[in-house]
Amino acid sequence: MTRLNKFLAEKTGISRREADDLIAAGRVETGGKTAILGQKIAENAAICVDGKPVSTEVKHKTILLNKPIGYLSSRRSQGGDPTVYDLLPTEYKKLKTAGRLDKDSSGLIILSSDGDLIQNLTHPRHQKTKIYEIALNKPLKPEHQRIISGSGVNLPDGKSRLKLAKSSDPDRAVRVTQRRGTPEQCFPSSEKFSGEESVAGPEHPEDELGFADATKHWQITMQEGRNRQIRRTFAALGYTVKKLHRTHLGPYSLGKLKTGKFVVLDSGSSPE
């Protein structure tokens, strides 16, 4: 048995709240009877919305988006700021985000109608690896490198430990198998942005990111995802993260996807 609102959300791509609204309005029937809020149904139950059968075949939509700086990851704009949904055609505007980025950050965001996929990518128990390229306002001192990677930095919501690597070192490139329609390849930071023409930034994104000085340029690998954790970790030691760009989330990576662009993945189950 499963809750009717969950069933509708999974099969139609709407939210559970929207499903509850349909049920409350008397627009949903199960077994020929008007459904009620909180109702549970059998796996093979016949469900109709506005008299039309709901297909049990699931065809989820999932996209990878290279978010530009200045865009919100939320659905609604705040203060007139654009959102990532402004970059998408109408058919993708109902997708939900997995792994948000703040307004001042850029890089990989995954949007999907697959609730299981989003849960798999975002719930702390799954410990999905995330990789970021950052630029600091000043060189990172060796003792602070040891603290961040070793004992960790105390934050109000707990200790923060981050794995650091010099992004300019091609030997530290991380290979991640990409799935469902994307090539199996990952690019070291030295060539990641080579030849790309950003639609929301300068012609050479490496200049936008401020990665000219290797002593300020780091690759961060982590499996947590607390609110603005990277920025707060460095701020606690007296640094400002000037640029933050996510390249990997779980089994997915940007590859050479251009800023402001997205790629549609094939339908399938959640990553293992």
pLDDT in tens, 243-254: 999 999 999 999
Across the chain, mean pLDDT equals 79
Rounded Cα–Cα distance for residues 10 and 271 (Å): 17
Element (H, E) at 143: helix 142-149
* Cβ–Cβ under 8 Å, residues 28 and 65: no
The model's pLDDT over 146-203, given as tens digits with 9 standing for 90+, comes to 999 999 999 999 999 999 998 754 333 333 323 333 333 333 332 233 223 333 333 3
Question: With 0-12 CB in 10 A as exposed, 13-18 as middle and 19+ as buried, what is 17?
Answer: exposed
Does the structure show a pLDDT above 60 at 120?
yes
Per-residue burial over 229-263, b = 16 or more CB atoms within 10 Å of its CB, e = otherwise: bbbbbbebeebebebbbbbbbbbbbbbebbbbbbe
Quick one: average pLDDT of 52-73? Answer: 87
pLDDT given for residue 244 in this prediction: 96
Rounded Cα–Cα distance for residues 97 and 11 (Å): 18
pLDDT given for residue 218 in this prediction: 95
Does the structure show a pLDDT above 80 at 266?
no
CATH (one of 3.30.2350.10, 3.40.50.12640, 3.40.50.300, 3.90.1150.10) for 62-265: 3.30.2350.10
Does the structure show a pLDDT above 80 at 10?
no
pTM of the shown model: 0.66
Quick one: average pLDDT of 33-42? Answer: 92
**Residues that are catalytic:** 102
Rounded Cα–Cα distance for residues 73 and 66 (Å): 11
Neighbouring residues of 17: CB distance < 8 A, sequence distance ≥ 6: none
**CA 222 from chain center: how many Å?**
14
Angle at 253 between CA 205 and CA 101, to 5 degrees: 70
pLDDT given for residue 201 in this prediction: 35
The verdict on domain 2-53 having CATH code 3.10.290.10 is yes
Between the ranges 4-8, 60-64, 125-129, 152-156, where is the mean pLDDT highest? 152-156
User: In the chain, where are the structural domains located?
Assistant: 2-53, 62-265
In angstroms, the Cα distances linking 77 to 100, 127, 241, 256 are 14, 30, 24, 28
Between the ranges 54-63, 74-83, 101-110, where is the mean pLDDT highest? 101-110
Q: Fold identical between 2-53 and 62-265?
A: no
